[in-house]
């Protein structure tokens, strides 16, 4: 039975995506616990973990604590925090980790393990933009990790209460690209839980393709307050976005993850979302720390590593970084 493979699941970061995944896994028969603090901790103790999609609402009871040691060793830990919180997670996650624990990283942007088991001549390089000291990699070595790319839109109505807007796709994969038994078992569990799950033989390609759109829409929306339709509706801004994307496309090609589309192909996909408010704009409006390093700073670093000039990416990074520093969000 699938439940016996990952019977104990802990969600570290019960925000919109983590709460959505946790609710589904509880519904699939897993014993779900959550590491949470503050208002989220209180809400989960009082109401359980709640999600809604359309007019359908689901509520599951979860074990919750601010102290991972109170939850004990898990079979699966779903890390669904924003990238700026990852160092703090690394410093406290050890009590959840046993000899066979799998850590599923359901996060935006380029993760610390991106060039582990992948990257040709660049394989093994540490990305300082997302793990400056190597502390994250030390706490969560690559052999623990399965990567996850989320293609869904969720937001928090209230602490511990997730509204699922659209999308239901998860792509998971080992950093080394092997279709291991544990990847296939996890994919089966996630499918059982109601997700449309694919096991990838090159999860870095899937991460990079998602980043190809996020790395421009997110910071530009944070700078301007504009939704994605307005960003792409301005000829000058759309041309700038395309230039940034072409720089990232060349970096990907040198890493061994070429993209067979042109920027305008991705623009057409983004425009279908309508007046979409990005996660970074939502964070700026809420006064939360932004994921700039995992989405843009790391591209600057990878450009230097691969020998690709990134003048447009650098301009975007500099402007966005200045804006969030002034607001105290970086």
Give residues with Cβ within 8 angstroms of 47, minimum separation 6.
59, 160, 161
Q: Is 111 helix (H, G, I), strand (E, B) or coil?
A: coil
Judge contact between 217 and 168, C-beta under 8 A. Answer: no
Q: How many CB atoms lie within 10 A of CB 203?
A: 28
d(CA 245, CA 211): 10
Question: Annotated catalytic residue: which of 82, 157, 169, 210?
Answer: 210
CA dist., res. 136 & res. 138, Å (int): 5
Q: Tell me the CB-side half-sphere exposure of residue 17, using CA atoms within 13 A.
A: 23
The question of whether 272 is a catalytic residue gets the answer: no
Q: How far apart are CA 292 and CA 330, in angstroms?
A: 8
Q: Do the beta carbons of residue 169 and residue 24 sit within 8 Å?
A: no
Q: CA angle, 39 as apex, 33 and 44 as ends, to 5°? A: 30
CB contact at 8 A, 238 and 299: no
Q: Of 13, 19, 29, which is closest to residue 75 (Cα–Cα)?
A: 29
Beta pairing class for 8-12 and 31-35: parallel
Coil, strand or helix at 60: strand
* Helix extents (H) in 170-278: 181-192, 203-224, 228-233, 235-255, 263-271
Question: In angstroms, rounded to a whole number, what is the distance separating the alpha carbons of residues 159 and 64?
Answer: 13
Centre a 10 Å sphere on the Cβ of residue 314 and count the other Cβ atoms it contains: 16
Which residues are tagged catalytic? 210
């Amino acid at each position: 039975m699938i439940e016996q493979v990952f019977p104990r699941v802990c969600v570290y970061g019960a925000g919109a995506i983590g709460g959505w995944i946790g609710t589904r896994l509880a519904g699939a028969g897993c014993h779900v616990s959550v590491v949470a603090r503050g208002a989220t901790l209180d809400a989960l103790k009082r109401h359980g973990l709640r999600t809604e999609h359309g007019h359908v609402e689901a509520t599951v009871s979860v074990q919750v604590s601010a102290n991972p040691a109170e939850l004990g060793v898990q079979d699966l830990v779903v890390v669904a925090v924003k990238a700026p919180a990852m160092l703090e997670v690394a410093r406290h996650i050890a009590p959840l980790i046993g000899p066979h624990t799998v850590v599923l990283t359901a996060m935006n942007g380029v993760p610390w393990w991106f060039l582990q088991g992948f990257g040709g001549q660049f394989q093994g390089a540490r990305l300082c933009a997302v793990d400056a000291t190597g502390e994250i990699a030390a706490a969560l070595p690559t052999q623990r990790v399965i990567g996850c790319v989320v293609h869904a839109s969720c937001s928090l109505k209230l602490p511990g209460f997730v509204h699922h807007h659209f999308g239901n796709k998860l792509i998971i994969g080992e950093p080394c690209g092997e279709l291991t038994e544990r990847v296939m078992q996890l994919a089966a569990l996630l499918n059982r839980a109601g997700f449309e799950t694919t096991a990838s033989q090159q999860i870095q390609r899937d991460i990079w393709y998602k980043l190809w759109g996020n790395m421009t829409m997110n910071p530009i929306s944070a700078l301007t307050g504009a939704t994605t339709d307005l960003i792409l509706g301005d000829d000058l801004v759309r041309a700038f976005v395309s230039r940034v994307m072409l720089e990232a496309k060349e970096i990907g090609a040198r890493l061994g993850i070429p993209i067979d589309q042109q920027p305008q192909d991705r623009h057409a996909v983004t425009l279908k979302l309508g007046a979409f408010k990005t996660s970074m704009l939502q964070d700026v409006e809420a006064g939360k720390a932004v994921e700039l390093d995992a989405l843009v700073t790391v591209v600057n670093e990878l450009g230097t590593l691969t020998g690709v000039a990134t003048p447009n990416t650098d301009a975007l990074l500099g402007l966005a970084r200045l804006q969030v520093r002034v607001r105290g969000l970086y």
